[in-house]
């Protein structure tokens, strides 16, 4: 098979080819567009890791009900965030910015974590403030649309609100992360 090497060389195979075709249309900015699109794909993978870990924790160890609900939400959100950052760092270092590996991995990991920790601080405050109100709004929307009955528990409302707040926070933080990481963590690439 002639194309089997493509799957080995590029971890995303066909997706990588599509990204290259799209970015080629941007002429002199093609490389930057390619990086942004790859960063966005990595961000989507990170969001899946993030939401997966968050919901696994809230379904098992850190249910958002009872005592210390805000603390449970913060711990679940922080743990999910850390798992996503490790995933994103790995994919960005080896796929989005392969030409940045002239720097020590430890240095880049520290820089990446600093940038992402600033994003986490914003996200924790954002989710902490908005998970309750967004959960109640979400429940009302579901009830009004006939998608839910009137028996939503405190835990279900908290989990819905956490997911809604997290959704918005993830996209805001992704934009922050791209620009700061591009011009600080990975500033050794052209």
Would you say residue 7 has pLDDT above 60?
no
- Give the integer Cα–Cα distance in Å for 105 and 97: 12
Residue 4 covered by a domain = no
Please write the tens of the pLDDT for every residue from 132-153.
888 888 888 888 888 777 777 7
Would you say residue 158 has pLDDT above 70?
yes
- 43 token code pair: 């961000």
If pLDDT is split at 50, 70 and 90, which confidence band does 10 have? low
| Cβ atoms of 127 and 77 closer than 8 Å | yes
- Give the integer Cα–Cα distance in Å for 56 and 187: 36
Mean pLDDT over 171-178 rounds to 86
Residue 190 covered by a domain = no
Any idea what DSSP says for residue 11? T
- The whole-number pLDDT of residue 73 equals 84
Residue 116 covered by a domain = yes
Give the rounded distance of the alpha carbon of 10 from its chain centre. Answer: 21
Give the dihedral sign, CA 7/9/11/15. negative
Please write the tens of the pLDDT for every residue from 20-58.
899 999 988 888 899 999 999 998 999 899 889 998 998
Q: Is 57 left (phi over 0), alpha (psi -120 to 50) or beta?
A: alpha
Q: At what angle do helices 154-180 and 30-59 cross, to 10 degrees?
A: 160
- Count up the domains in the chain and report the number: 1
Residue 46 lies in domain? 28-185
- Give the integer Cα–Cα distance in Å for 151 and 83: 33
Residue 84 covered by a domain = yes
Q: Which is nearest to 119 in space by CA: 189, 27, 69, 50? A: 50
Give the C-alpha distances (Å, rounded to integers) separating 184 from 14, 24, 109: 30, 25, 12
Residue 3 covered by a domain = no
Please write the tens of the pLDDT for every residue from 65-114.
778 888 888 889 889 988 999 999 999 988 898 888 778 889 999 999 99
Other C-beta atoms closer than 10 Å to the C-beta of 74 total: 17
User: Mean pLDDT of all residues in the chain?
Assistant: 84
- Give the integer Cα–Cα distance in Å for 103 and 105: 6
State the chain's maximal CA–CA distance in angstroms: 59
- Give the integer Cα–Cα distance in Å for 84 and 69: 22
């Amino acid at each position: 098979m002639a194309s089997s090497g493509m799957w080995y060389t590029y971890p995303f195979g066909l997706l990588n080819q599509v990204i290259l075709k799209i970015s080629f249309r941007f002429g002199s900015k093609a490389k930057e567009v390619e990086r942004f699109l790859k960063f966005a794909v990595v961000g989507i993978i990170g969001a899946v890791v993030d939401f997966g870990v968050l919901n696994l924790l809230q379904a098992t160890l850190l249910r958002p009900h009872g005592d210390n609900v805000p603390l449970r939400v913060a711990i679940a959100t922080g743990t999910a965030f850390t798992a996503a950052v490790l995933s994103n760092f790995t994919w960005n270092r080896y796929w989005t910015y392969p030409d940045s590996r002239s720097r020590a991995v430890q240095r880049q990991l520290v820089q990446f974590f600093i940038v992402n920790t600033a994003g986490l601080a914003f996200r924790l405050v954002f989710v902490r403030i908005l998970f309750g109100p967004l959960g109640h709004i979400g429940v009302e929307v579901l009830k009004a649309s006939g998608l839910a009955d009137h028996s939503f528990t405190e835990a279900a409302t908290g989990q819905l609100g956490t997911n809604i707040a997290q959704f918005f926070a993830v996209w805001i933080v992704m934009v922050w992360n791209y620009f700061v990481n591009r011009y600080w963590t990975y500033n050794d690439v052209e």
